Amino acid sequence: MTPRSVGARPGEAHADGSRADRARAVRVRCAIAAVVVLLAGLALQLPDRTVAIDLAGSALYASLVGLIVAIASPRLSGPAVALIGFGVSTAVELLQLTGIPAALVAAVPPLRLVFGSSFDALDLVGYAVGAVLLLFVHGAALRSARSSTRRATGRSVGRAAERSDQRTDQHAARSAEPAPGPARSDERDPGPAGEREP
């Protein structure tokens, strides 16, 4: 039990549980979307480079960054997630002007997928497209999480109501049982020891 839940009212505890379940559901859905985006981005590395592929890759990059942020902080709003995804992607792109990413890629070639190789202003357009795409993906994940949480809450409330009805029926059945009758009047208490009736 968390310190916050100690002494909390039942309604408050239920609300906290619902928020935690919703955050968990958002995290799972964003994780699934991140895997799909990552696989799509890796698939774009196979064909020859074109402007369209570069834009698509940049959009997926920003979307993946935002989804990772949503997984880490599932209670962030969609616009906040999209803004962070765009901001981080843009910062990495601007970092390429310093030559640091190029040195890192030269030392560890797979880092090219993270830092790129050279600055390209067109990538900023792709990041903006990815941020817009991220708004829709995050919104869909949030709506799905809310729907599943409502269904789970409805089922738990229904089970609680059913248990309450069962307890009520059992109480009513016990109340309807006949009470034991009074003691028979002809039954006498035995007199003191050694006392005989006249």
**Cβ-count burial of 25 within 10 angstroms (0-12 exposed, 13-18 middle, 19+ buried)?**
buried
* pTM listed for this prediction: 0.67
**Alpha helix ranges (H) inside the chain:** 10-43, 51-72, 78-95, 100-107, 112-115, 121-176
- In contact, 148 and 25? CB cutoff 8 Å: yes
Q: Mean per-residue pLDDT for 63-71?
A: 95
Distance CA 14, CA 98 (A): 51
In a domain, 139, yes or no: yes
In a domain, 187, yes or no: no
In a domain, 191, yes or no: no
Q: What is the pLDDT of residues 94-125, one digit of tens each?
A: 998 988 888 888 898 888 888 887 888 899 99
Please, what is the average pLDDT of the chain? Answer: 79
In a domain, 176, yes or no: no
In a domain, 181, yes or no: no
Our count of domains for the chain comes to 1
Domain span at residue 143? 11-159
